Amino acid sequence: MDLQLSGKKAVVTGASKGIGLAISECLVAEGMHVYGASRTVTPELAALGIPTLAVDLSHADSGERLVDHAVEQLGGIDVLVNNVGGGAEGADLAGGFLSLDEETWQRSLNLNLLSAVRVTRAALPYIVERRGSIVNISSIGARASYQPVDYGVAKAGLTNMSKALAEEFGPLGVRVNTVTPGPTLTQNWRDPEGYAGDLAKAAGLDYDEFMARIPATMGITTGRLAEPSEVAAVVAFLASPLAGSVTGADYRVDGGVLKAV
């Protein structure tokens, strides 16, 4: 199927690894001109040969900086993928609500919600010009009660913002959708010293045993974690003119984790 994306221009945040890298790879493979942003430029991102900006999107002026650079390089924006996000570094994953202090909440909201607010605010005039679209990467944490609660609350805000933007900018020809991944095999899950390793320790299990139990404990219907490329494929479809009547939607790529209709 030709997604009719060839020659169109996309900005992807959090492009250096994980889901953002897979999205960038997928959009490049579809013939798009992609501009990638993250704090670091990894060898994998550099290998894509696309223009990039090293930028910390938790800073207040970062959205304008990124969009100015991207428009200078690309000459416009058809598609924005707000992918940056994740748990606050160093958070106590087993601590619960009372372990989350003011600073942790600020960091989480900043990274998972306000980064997208800033980039979207700066990019929207260009996206309106080209009757383009936005895809926001949320999480199952937005739609169910998982720990840590700060992350889910920030992602719920992002999902809500997508719907509001779809309504406000739909009449101007702009589509806005959300992709909601469940557990996806990025470094956070692959690295025994990373997020999954911390969860394993909190559960009193070694990493391999913890990972083997994840499909059952999280209720993953497919029996495995998703691949980043599977999230990327849905993003590419939503970015495509073929999805011209899809807006304000939330597509789950969670292997069936969320059980409610």
Ligand X SMILES: NC(=O)c1ccc[n+]([C@@H]2O[C@H](COP(=O)([O-])OP(=O)(O)OC[C@H]3O[C@@H](n4cnc5c(N)ncnc54)[C@H](OP(=O)(O)O)[C@@H]3O)[C@@H](O)[C@H]2O)c1
* Contacts with ligand X, residue ranges (CB under 6 A): 14-20, 38-40, 55-58, 83-86, 111, 137, 139, 181, 183-184, 186-189
Give the list of residues 6+ apart from residue 199 with CB closer than 8 angstroms, or none. 93, 210
* Nearest distance, CB of residue 48 and ligand X, angstroms: 12
- Of 5 and 15, the one with the shorter C-beta distance to ligand X is 15
* Nearest distance, CB of residue 45 and ligand X, angstroms: 8
- Of 15 and 134, the one with the shorter C-beta distance to ligand X is 15
The β-bridge partners of 226 are 184
DSSP element (H, E) containing 133: strand 133-137
* Burial class of residue 89 in the structure, from the number of CB atoms within 10 Å of its CB (0-12 exposed, 13-18 middle, 19+ buried): exposed
* Nearest distance, CB of residue 130 and ligand X, angstroms: 24
Query: What are the Cα distances from residue 232, in Å, to 187, 198, 216?
Result: 16, 26, 25
- Of 56 and 101, the one with the shorter C-beta distance to ligand X is 56
Give the list of residues 6+ apart from residue 167 with CB closer than 8 angstroms, or none. 248
Query: Coil, helix or strand for 183?
Result: coil
For residues 187 and 40, what is the distance between their CA atoms, to the nearest angstrom? 15
Catalytically annotated residues: 151
* Nearest distance, CB of residue 111 and ligand X, angstroms: 6
Neighbours of 237 (CB within 10 A): 18
* Burial class of residue 105 in the structure, from the number of CB atoms within 10 Å of its CB (0-12 exposed, 13-18 middle, 19+ buried): middle
Residue 139 identity: S
- Of 39 and 131, the one with the shorter C-beta distance to ligand X is 39
* Nearest distance, CB of residue 161 and ligand X, angstroms: 14
- Of 191 and 209, the one with the shorter C-beta distance to ligand X is 191
Query: What are the Cα distances from residue 102, in Å, to 8, 93, 141, 171, 173?
Result: 41, 16, 20, 39, 39
- Of 4 and 42, the one with the shorter C-beta distance to ligand X is 42
The β-bridge partners of 199 are none
* Nearest distance, CB of residue 189 and ligand X, angstroms: 6
